[in-house]
Amino acid sequence: MQSAARRALRIGVAVLLFTNALDLSTSLVPYWIDKFYTPPPRSTLELILQLGLLALGAAWFARITPRIARTLAALPIPRAPLIVCGGFLLIECAHIALRFERFPFSPVAMFSDAHTEVLASWEQPSMLVQHPEGPRFLSFQREGDPLFSRYFDDLDYKGSAALRMYRDTDGVAKIVRQAVAARGLPPPVPVWVTYRTSDGKVLSVAPRVIEARERVAP
């Protein structure tokens, strides 16, 4: 019992030290994106405390480095792939810590606070279903999850993606009409929905005419 508690304590301390180092690297190391974002002010006491934790984490990591090296050497993996994968992982960790965006390392802005120009509103195609309590938009992403679907009982995420991709074809229109009719509801109506990007509020709904060669929206 004491061994398990001690192991849990070590894991908690390791997470704390790692989080502290990551916070310092992402907030104190300058990067070009910082001209768009000003981090909150940090007091001298906070900075001293975090730097002390960083020194403690560096000393602890240096102490366990030989153990990590022995564990990696004992893995049943050829040396060359282990070195390549390990190097890629180290570079990736550095990109995360320093907020760099360089392909093929962290190329999708998942771990950075990079900002892009965001339109105030956005328009996208949808289908409107009239319910007794009011109109509702049909979401193929929602229908692909059994916990949230309204009209389809056996549709998985792959099927919902296929329906969404070909939503303006006659075949998908027929499938959707049948699923909606099975709930005793009238056929869905194609519409354009304009919503506010800041909070998702619907600003307007307009009828949508499906052309024979209309390009399928992503």
pLDDT of residue 218: 43
Which helix (H) or strand (E) segment is 205 a member of? strand 202-207
pLDDT of residue 217: 46
Lowest-pLDDT range of 89-103, 123-137, 154-168, 188-202: 89-103
State pLDDT tens for residues 40-68: 778 889 889 999 999 999 999 999 899 98
pTM, rounded to two decimals: 0.45
Instruction: Quote the mean pLDDT of the chain.
Output: 82
- Judged against a pLDDT cut of 70, whether residue 101 lies above it is answered with no
Residue type, 199: D
pLDDT of residue 216: 45
Task: For residue 216, give the DSSP letter.
Answer: P
Both tokens of 206, joined, read 């307009």
Both tokens of 196, joined, read 């506010």
pLDDT of residue 147: 84
pLDDT of residue 197: 83
Q: State the maximum Cα–Cα separation within the chain, in Å, rounded to a whole number.
A: 71
Nearest to 191 by CA among 126, 96, 129: 126
